[in-house]
Amino acid sequence: MAALLIRSIARTIKRPPATASAAYSTGGGRGCTCTRQKLEGKVALITGGASGLGKATAGEFIRHGARVVIVDSDEESGFKAAKELGVAAEFMVCDVTVEADIARAVETTVERHGKLDVMYNNAGIVGPMIPASISELDMKEFENVMRINVIGVVSGIKHAAKVMIPAGSGCILCTSSVAGLIGGLAPHSYTISKFTIPGMVKSAASELCEHGVRINCISPGTVATPLVLRYLRKVFPTATEEKLRETVKGMGELKGAECEEADVAKAALYLASDDGKYVTGHNLVVDGGGMTAFKIAGFPFPSDS
């Protein structure tokens, strides 16, 4: 399992360098160069919004006219992110493992803005990379991953539904992972937690659709977020950050492109906007075709220096 994990997250493929997409900014302001703002007048709440996919999605939502409340347990990074995102963003400290914190975040958002249109349950952790064997699984560590990745998401769905059901509309999003599509790509705790999320989404969708509320999840491929790079450093402690980023790029299957934070943010925008008005109970995979066939485990180890 350990060898499979390391091979899957660290392989490199000999191919021409990917052409990066147009520069993406989460900077302040509400301007959008597109023909229309897809979330004009909407209010969104994003957990795990201080960095990575959460912050990128907040920036994309703001560019399309939304007001965004980002919540995170990292107070320093949260306030910094809100400042960078501009006047359309605000930050609240929130521990998603504490249901009262989630409830307060939702209630405060509604009190300040009069409604909640989009709830994005994005907060999550990978958990320990070792031990790799299920026979040595630390149950306390397992419970910690499940509290954040599963119970935190369930709490977010619950309290968003309390607001959206009476309103007769709303969109709930959750971050899953390609690790929730096939075993062996990540530690057991993380994999189990991410397999759970699409099931939760389908279960909730069966009820919420009766009230005009949509719920979907997004399963990204590996993106070089601060969280991913932090965990890769534990696997390859001598590798430079540049090497780690190149490793992540090499995991994609789609020639000429790489999975970036902006790609996941735009997927979230589609699901949150009227473009996805008839999509619910769906798991949107953003992985460049990585899960279309089993191609990962057999690749050799890269150098970690």
| DSSP sequence for 18-60 | PPPPSP----SS----SSS-TTTT-EEEEETTTSHHHHHHHHH
Q: Is the pLDDT of residue 301 over 70?
A: no
Which has more confidence, 284 or 287?
A: 284
pTM for the full predicted model: 0.83
What mean pLDDT comes out for the span 34-42? 87
Determine which of 44-58, 159-173, 202-216, 230-244 has the lowest per-residue pLDDT on average. Answer: 230-244
Task: Tell me what pLDDT residue 237 has.
Answer: 85
Per-residue pLDDT tens for 157-205?
999 999 999 999 999 999 999 999 999 888 999 999 999 999 999 999 9
CATH of region 37-218+260-281: 3.40.50.720
**What is the spatial distance between Cα 4 and Cα 234, in angstroms, rounded to a whole number?**
16
DSSP-derived secondary structure for 229-271: HHHHHHHSTTS-HHHHHHHHHTT--STT----HHHHHHHHHHH
pLDDT at position 244 is 84
Q: Which residue has the higher pLDDT, 168 or 33?
A: 168
Residue 97 predicted with pLDDT over 50 = yes
The full set of domain ranges for the chain reads 37-218+260-281
- Distance from chain centroid for Cα 28: 21
The amino acid at residue 218 is I
Question: Which pLDDT score is estimated for 26?
Answer: 37
Closest of 98, 78, 100, 101 to residue 90, by C-alpha: 78
190 noted as active-site residue: yes
Kindly name the residue from 190, 231, 270, 278 that is annotated as catalytic.
190
